Homo-oligomer: A and B are copies of this chain.
């Protein structure tokens, strides 16, 4: 195996697709957001990226092993009216493989809507250099499909629970700022203070240098919990920025469940009259 190996699973003819990245990160905001897109819309896996930069690990689903990888899905949001759909009809497997029937990405129809390439997976790279190499590989795939616009989705940690999460933006080219502001994205001087790290950061940095129009949408989140509400805020901004509609029913249900969990934790805290440690809160979900 080479350091990076790109497996070709399908080559649909997409119309200037937008690449949406949602790999694991703060509050799992980016990953929750793209998983929601994959649940709500028809999709098919077009590329699987294996790499010695991923952990030496397989995931086991019903006894069958899948080698650590990142996946790029073609998602058809053409003509979708998310509200008309039931969950059962459009659910696909959790990001691994969509069966033949539901993989109805319409290859011929190029005039009518929005084509997305959705990048997700279970891992960031395990070394500094690996982040660079994987990001270049993802951008190579994007180039192959004629992508011009890239959105990296993620969370920005605030250190406290956020009732109404804002969405912070960062871009590769300042010309995009006004367009994103119009979609409700906030731009603040020197925020996020620590910059953007990992593959989202390098999509901005390397993607920008290669001429892609890259935006990073970061939902405010405590940093302690998996945060579906922040993921929804990010998707709302993305809807506006790209022009598509998605139902948030299932994401809202998940956010409600999280609120309950948080409520119980806060109650316990009050009873104990003591401050909870980070460990109590970290990634309950």
Contact = CB atoms under 8 A, between A and B. Distances in A.
Nearest to A204: B65
Interface stretch (A77-85, A104-112, A189-197, A277-285): A189-197
Interface stretch (A141-149, A165-173, A254-262): A165-173
A67 interface: yes
Interface stretch (A17-25, A38-46, A55-63, A230-238): A55-63
A241 interface: no
Contacts of A273: none
Interface string A73-92: 00000000000000000000
A195 B60 CA distance: 5
Given A3-B129, A173-B64, A195 B58 contact: yes
Contact of A191 (B60, B131, B177): B60
Given A206-B67, A208-B65, A196 B58 contact: yes
Contacts of A209: 50, 67
A170 B136 contact: no
Interface residues of A, number: 57
Tell me which of A1, A66, A189 has the highest count of chain B C-beta atoms within 10 A of its own C-beta: A1
A201 interface: yes
A120 B218 CA distance: 29
Given A63-B187, A171-B65, A58 B128 contact: no
A172 B65 CA distance: 5
23 contacts: A1-B136, A1-B206, A52-B129, A56-B125, A57-B197, A57-B201, A58-B204, A58-B205, A59-B195, A60-B190, A63-B170, A63-B174, A64-B173, A64-B177, A65-B195, A65-B208, A65-B214, A67-B202, A67-B208, A67-B209, A68-B205, A126-B128, A127-B128
Rank and list the top 4 A-B pairs by shortest CB-CB distance, nearest first.
A67-B205, A56-B131, A65-B204, A63-B187
Given A52-B133, A68-B205, 13 more contacts: A1-B206, A53-B128, A54-B128, A56-B198, A58-B196, A58-B205, A60-B170, A62-B174, A63-B170, A63-B187, A64-B172, A64-B177, A65-B214
